[in-house]
């Protein structure tokens, strides 16, 4: 009996490494695998259910860690989820509204359509126990939020670092994220599952929920540097008033490279170890101007936040100076 229980434990753990399961699909898997026997000893059945509860609890925790990462300051819904003016929420959003916001029938919450306008929702009904459910009557404005004035060109970092960058960049505000190859990028990074839209889109939405925005950044990936720098980038450069590339060895600071109020900015941030001379030369040919924010060498995810913040702050300074 003990050996059977241990085998069951290993089977459960192995399966949970490769798929996302809820209670029903997990039970279906166990029956199909022949692990559960209706005539089995009661102790074996009790142990199986105990393992099931533990594994499902761990799985739910992993899901929350993956999606909840920050505050949900706006409830975002897909356009196809709205039927007329009603939306029926399940899962993490309903759980957040019930457990964190403590909504009651008649309460109003801030909502937004993904890639659409913001608005509000009035709670019509709710289920306060698992599975959590909330039904709302929605109202959205006709005004679409402005697209952020910065786009990010990023040499592919380590996947764990890119995971943080996706949510942070969306929270800070970028219109597009171009992920490209560079000489100091490990080729194996391109095999990461994170590069699939199903993996990185929830991270972008998480950033929008933090920042109370609805515009999901466009993500484009280019696995070869030379075709990108020769064929793709030149046609896009005309969309920007300023092309900036972060380089610690540069002697130019932001006030030197941004002398007029920028309309749109394309900001290039290199890999760990920085851009090589060849890459800097090719960017210069496209009109990119190198700049620095100081002598200290930062990790890529830290650099993205620091540089974006400084560029936006200086942009706001120029805008306010122009108004006065």
What is the DSSP code (8-state) at residue 146?
P
Contact between residue 74 and residue 110 where contact means Cβ atoms under 8 Å apart: yes
Name which of 22, 108, 24, 32 is nearest 57 in CA terms: 22
- What spatial distance separates the first Cα and last Cα of the chain, rounded to whole Å? 81
- The CA distance from 121 to 100, in Å, is 16
245-270 per-position pLDDT tens digit: 999 899 999 999 999 999 999 999 99
pLDDT mean over 29-38: 49
pLDDT mean over 294-307: 94
pTM above 0.85, yes or no: no
Domains of the chain, start order: 2-68 (no CATH), 75-140 (2.40.240.20), 150-323 (3.40.1280.10)
- The CA distance from 88 to 77, in Å, is 10
Question: Does 19 score more than 50 pLDDT?
Answer: no
Q: Beta 150-155 vs 176-180: how paired, if at all?
A: parallel
Contact between residue 310 and residue 257 where contact means Cβ atoms under 8 Å apart: no
92-118 per-position pLDDT tens digit: 999 999 999 999 999 999 999 999 999
What pairs with residue 269 in β-bridges? Answer: 154
208-228 per-position pLDDT tens digit: 999 999 999 999 999 999 999
Q: In what order do the strands lie in the sheet with 133-140?
A: 75-77, 108-113, 118-127, 133-140, 86-90, 82-83
- The CA distance from 160 to 170, in Å, is 16
Question: Does 45 score more than 90 pLDDT?
Answer: no
């Amino acid at each position: 009996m003990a050996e059977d229980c241990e085998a069951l434990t290993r089977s459960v753990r192995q399966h949970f490494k490769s798929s996302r399961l809820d209670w029903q699909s997990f039970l279906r898997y166990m029956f199909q695998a022949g692990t559960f026997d209706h005539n089995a000893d009661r102790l074996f059945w009790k142990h199986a259910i105990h393992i099931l509860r533990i594994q499902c609890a761990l799985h739910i925790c992993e899901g929350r860690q993956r999606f909840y990462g920050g505050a949900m300051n706006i409830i975002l819904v897909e356009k196809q989820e709205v039927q007329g003016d009603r939306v029926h929420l399940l899962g993490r959003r309903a759980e957040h509204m019930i457990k964190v916001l403590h909504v009651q029938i008649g309460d109003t919450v801030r909502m937004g359509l993904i890639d659409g306008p913001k608005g509000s929702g009035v709670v019509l009904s709710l289920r306060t126990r698992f599975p959590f459910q909330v039904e709302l009557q929605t109202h959205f404005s006709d005004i679409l939020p402005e697209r952020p004035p910065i786009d990010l060109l990023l040499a592919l970092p380590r996947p764990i670092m890119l995971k943080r960058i996706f949510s942070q960049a969306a929270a800070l505000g970028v219109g597009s994220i171009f992920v490209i190859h560079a000489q100091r990028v490990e080729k194996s990074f391109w095999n990461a599952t994170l590069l699939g839209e199903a993996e990185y889109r929830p991270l972008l939405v998480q950033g929008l929920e933090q920042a109370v925005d609805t515009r999901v950044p466009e993500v484009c990936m280019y696995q070869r540097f030379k075709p990108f720098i020769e064929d793709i980038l030149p046609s896009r450069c005309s969309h920007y008033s300023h092309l900036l590339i972060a380089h610690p060895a540069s002697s130019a600071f932001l006030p030197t490279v941004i002398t007029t109020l920028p309309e749109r900015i394309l900001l290039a941030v290199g890999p760990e170890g920085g851009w090589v001379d060849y890459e800097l030369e090719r960017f210069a040919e496209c009109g990119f101007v190198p700049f620095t924010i100081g002598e200290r060498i930062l990790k890529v995810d830290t650099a993205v936040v620091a540089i974006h913040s400084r560029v936006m702050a200086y942009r706001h300074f120029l805008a306010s100076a122009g108004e006065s």
